[in-house]
Amino acid sequence: MVRPRLECELAASDDLAEAERYAGALGTELTFAFHYLASCSSTQEVAASLAEAGAQEGTVVLAEEQVAGRGRLGRSWVSPRGGLWFTVVLRPERLKVVQLLSLAAGVAVARAVRDFCGVDARLKWPNDVQVEGRKLAGILVEGAAEAGAPRYALLGVGLNVNNDLPPELREAATSLKEIVGRAVPRVPLLLSMLEQLDEAYSSLRRGEGGRIVEEWKALSSTLGARVRAITRGEVIEGVAVDVDSDGGLVVETGSVRRVCYSGEVIHLR
């Protein structure tokens, strides 16, 4: 009799400090342990300290706000109250898992948003989650390795949920509140993302990277688009035609195919 009541409470819960209470009921392979913070610099930084101190795989650092949130390519990430800003500590055994982790996380976040909110979330390479071309969520994977083997990976997710966006971001970014027209309870959404992340990470660990790449492609808004890829100081313009087994974006320019493994892609009209 306790469980249905818990589920009912969970469906409406927006109290992130309570997330751990519900996470125990998840049937995931990872065991999630939460560090809830009202405010921090960046959950990546806090998670790095915890990982260095031996934190177990599945440790989640979750902050109500970040005052120095970090994005990809050295950018900052605006993270006021109302959003979901968290980092999961992972301890993958193989570099191949780390290599595909950011694509896998993109698939997981897009799926959770689609299932939970019924929103047509799509993936822009490598892992921006977008709705109608505006950015809803970003993913940052950082890590430490030793002698060619990963020591840990920090999987950071930033999702605009009920937070207001600053004027300079309103054209390029969006939030779930803006899309669905009402506030979205963040705890069940967070747990849905963690379930999806667990599933995608388990697939990678079982050597099913090919499946993750196929799932990424099915949710992609980049494939088939004309793109400008800026990678290692080089600019490549062409049509994005594929993603290879390492997660690289294959861009066709005339009769030549080039593969980008890092950097940024702009969709051209």
Residues binding ligand BTN (CB under 6 A): 42-44, 66, 69-72, 75, 77, 79, 85-87, 128, 138-140, 156-158
Token pair 């993302």: residue: 193
The residue (of 102 and 203) whose beta carbon lies closer to ligand BTN is 102
Minimal distance, residue 207 CB to ligand BTN, in Å: 27
Whole-number Å distance between alpha carbons of 102 and 161: 20
Whole-number Å distance between alpha carbons of 234 and 35: 40
Minimal distance, residue 232 CB to ligand BTN, in Å: 18
Sign of CA dihedral 28, 33, 37, 38: positive
Minimal distance, residue 68 CB to ligand BTN, in Å: 7
User: Can you read off the two tokens belonging to residue 27?
Assistant: 């049937």
The residue (of 30 and 238) whose beta carbon lies closer to ligand BTN is 30
- State phi, psi for 41 to the nearest 5 degrees: -65, -70
User: Can you read off the two tokens belonging to residue 96?
Assistant: 């191949």
Q: Which residue is nearest to ligand BTN (CB)?
A: 138
Minimal distance, residue 41 CB to ligand BTN, in Å: 8
Minimal distance, residue 158 CB to ligand BTN, in Å: 3
The residue (of 158 and 238) whose beta carbon lies closer to ligand BTN is 158
Q: What is the DSSP letter of 116?
A: H
Q: What is the DSSP letter of 17?
A: G
The residue (of 143 and 156) whose beta carbon lies closer to ligand BTN is 156
The residue (of 58 and 138) whose beta carbon lies closer to ligand BTN is 138
User: Can you read off the two tokens belonging to residue 217?
Assistant: 């492609």
